[in-house]
Structure 1
């Protein structure tokens, strides 16, 4: 895996993990006051800083697993059961 490919894979994992982490721990505002800038159903406290930090750590762990899988010989199209016949 090249550096460019690694960065792209990390960003894809990060965005996917962010959308998985966003709903954790959010409670909707039951009343909501549109005059004050709120809306019924909007989260009371989003805690985006902690969610971004958690997403970054989770993505790093998942990316490491993907990197280990790609770099290992266990999943290879050159050798083993995934190899093209006749080579």
Structure 2
């Protein structure tokens, strides 16, 4: 493998955060525009379903990360030697 385990973990973390920001807006409906009375923010969703979004982010990230690792391992994306 042309990269080490720390680099592989760093790539996974980067992919996970990128996928998280793509998944967060999914399923959010436009709420009524009445002013909040409980101190909440105007744009805050009533039920963000974060646990479901984190699980979705994790399995989508595994698929994307595996594709990136396969691309690097097969040589389709050659990495320069730094040492």
TM-score under structure 2 length normalisation? 0.80
Give the superposition deviation at 1:42.
1.9
Match of 2:24 in 1: 22
Give the superposition deviation at 1:24.
0.2
Which of 53, 60, 63 in structure 2 is aligned with 1:51? 53
Offset from partner CA, 1:42-68 (integer Å, 9 cap, x none): 212110000000000000000000000
- Which gives a bigger RCO, structure 1 or 2 (Cα 8 Å, sep 6+)? 2
Give the superposition deviation at 1:29.
2.9
Q: Which runs of 5+ in 2 are unaligned?
A: none
Q: How far apart, CA to CA, are the structure 1 residues paired with 2:79 and 2:16?
A: 27
Match of 1:65 in 2: 67
TM-score under structure 1 length normalisation? 0.77
Q: How far apart, CA to CA, are the structure 2 residues paired with 1:77 and 1:10?
A: 17
Higher Cα radius of gyration: 1
Q: How far apart, CA to CA, are the structure 1 residues paired with 2:14 and 2:72?
A: 16
Aligned residues: 77
Give the superposition deviation at 1:76.
3.0
